Each structure stands twice: as structure tokens, then as C-alpha cells.
Amino acid sequence: MNLIFATRPSALARWQTQWVIAALKNIHPSLECEEKIITTQGDKILDKSLPKIGGKGLFTQELESELLSGAVHCAVHSLKDLPVENPAGLTVGCIPARAEVRDALISRDGYTLATLPLNASVGTSSLRRAAQILSLRPDLRTQSLRGNVDTRLRKALDGQYDAIILAGAGLTRLDLDQHVTEWLSLDMMLPAPGQGALAVQCRADDQTTLDLLAKLEEDSTRKCVTAERAFLSGLGGGCAVPVAAYAQMIREQRLEISLTGLVISPDGKMVIRVTGQGTEPLKLGQQLAQQALTEGASEILSLLPTITVQSQTTFRSQVVTSG
């Protein structure tokens, strides 16, 4: 059988797709695979911050359209970039074992978050990261940072920023982690829901592809990221809000999960952090979301602009219709 994978053109997206292909071919030696490179809106628009142009869906919509049309069998995503709801007809066929979940600080001059000078500039494309930075160091200036991993890293090493923050998984996958000045602990910087995990998306009725992907599934990773994304979904699911979550298995035999969720105002001054344990990922995430809303997260979320939701919904309805 031949599987066609949709992939974005960036080095990280290609690496992730090729990793999945290699892992599948190792399990199914007779399987043939090929890539179809698709440039998304998120790849094209680089002069504006993600929240202003549509957030996470900008990196997935064109790939999902190719899936729904039947032009490709699979699409490999960074799970943190995938909206919490799949379009009708699509599903996440497998979630492999998770990689590095932490964020990393990179500074040409060797600064850590604690040693950055007063009023130093920190580049990040994420409201979540910017808000947590300002909570720890309100004197710093956060500035928009767009582009693929290589581009962002070059901007840091050229001195365009005093430091930048990137997801550690992308750096380790591309063998660029030697540039990391400081790994930010989970106490300092809680990751995005699903950070460090890959998601292989396919059509929900494509049982042959689902059967092939099943051998790559990592059950504990699936449970943990499901809890994290349920927390995000319970808060409204918006990809442009400063929400963080991290879950881990604490008792493998009992399948008990520990989840920490965070909602933070963009200026870092209002922080709601909740923690809980449970054995049902969806229920745990939803319960903690409701707890966070009760403790004041609703006030934080009400201060944020309602952006891009309508445009994403419109695009998805067009995609489903065309499929």
C-alpha cells in the first residue's frame, strides 16, 4: 500500500513527517510512503502575530482540506498547533510517545531569564509564553517573533532580541538544542496543551490507514494530552488565549493522571493555577477548567479580544462542504 502524507514545508514539519514515515515503515516494511508539501496561511503570513491572523488553525486548515478531499491519507501536526475539535470526517489516528515538553530560552549573550538586563527584549509568538515571562519579569519587553525554527533561531543569534523562547521539542528534533541557554522548568513556564506531542490526522472512515497507524499509538501520551486539551476546550478552546496545561501519569497501573492548568492575563498580573488528579482524562480536564473559571479565569478571558473564531469556522464549513 502507498500512503500519502500532507506536510508543511518547514524543516520541523518535514522532520516530523519523515519520522512518522520511518517509524511506520519499520513496523510495516512493505509500506510505501510519500510526502505532499502544502504551504499554509500560517507559513505565508509572517509579518503579523499569530493571534491577529487566526492562531493555530492557520497551520492546519489546508492540510485538513487535502485530507477531506481524499488527495492524501495522513497529515502530521505538532499537537499543540491542532485546534481542539476535528472537522467532521477527520480524526487523530495516532499520537506517538511524547518528546520534550519544556520551553527553552536562547540568548546570544548567554542570559538566563533571571539575568536578562532591565527592559531586555524577549521574542515569542505565543501569548502564553509572553504572559508567563511578564509574570516572572514584569520589567522585560516581549516582542513578536515569527518564522520557522531556523529563522527564529537566526534572529536570536544575530542579536535582534536579547533572548527568545522556543518549544524545546522542535529544537531537539532538529538537533539545535546546543543553542539553549536555559531550559525553563515547568514551575517557571507551563507548556501549551499537547506541547511536545505529534498528532497524525486522517479520515475517520479510512479504516486501513487507522489500522496502520495504531501501532504508533502511545496510550499514556494520548491520555495526558487529552486531559490537557479538555482543559483548553472547557475554557472555550480558543487558540489565541494565554492558557497552559501539563498532565502526567502518576500511577501507571491505576491509570491515574495529574493535571495542572493555568490561565494568565496577557500582562502576567492575574494568574489562575489549578491542579487535580483523576483516571478519566476528559472529565479531569473539564472539571479543572470549571474550577479555573470559578476562581477567576472567566474574568481574564473576558478581557481578551474575540478574534478569528468566525473566520476559522467559516473556513472549516467550506472545507467540509468541498470534501
CATH number of the domain that residue 320 is part of? 3.40.190.10
Any domain includes 189: no
Domain count, the chain: 3
Answer yes or no: do 19 and 166 share one domain: no
- pTM score, two decimals? 0.88
Answer yes or no: do 176 and 249 share one domain: no
Q: What is the pLDDT of residue 1?
A: 83
Please list the ranges in the chain whose pLDDT falls under 50.
Answer: 53, 306-323
Answer yes or no: do 20 and 125 share one domain: no
Any domain includes 192: no
Answer yes or no: do 80 and 210 share one domain: yes
Q: What is the pLDDT of residue 32?
A: 96
Q: What is the pLDDT of residue 215?
A: 94
State the cell numbers at 105: 530560552
Residues serving a catalytic function are 81
What is the distance between the alpha carbons of residues 205 and 209, in angstroms, rounded to a whole number? 9
Q: What is the pLDDT of residue 141?
A: 97
The runs of H, that is alpha helices, within the chain are: 11-27, 41-44, 50-53, 61-69, 127-136, 149-157, 168-173, 207-213, 219-234, 281-292, 298-302, 309-322
CATH number of the domain that residue 302 is part of? 3.30.160.40
Answer yes or no: do 5 and 78 share one domain: yes
Q: What is the pLDDT of residue 320?
A: 29
Any domain includes 191: no
Cα 261 vs. chain centroid, distance in angstroms? Answer: 15
Q: What is the pLDDT of residue 303?
A: 79
Q: What is the DSSP letter of 192?
A: P
Q: What is the pLDDT of residue 60?
A: 80
Q: What is the pLDDT of residues 94-120, one digit of tens each?
A: 999 999 999 999 999 999 999 999 999
The C-alpha angle with vertex 79 and arms to 76 and 82, in degrees rounded to 5, equals 90
Q: What is the pLDDT of residue 314?
A: 28
- Domain extent for 122: 103-183
Answer yes or no: do 319 and 282 share one domain: no
Residues 6+ apart with CB under 8 A from 251: none
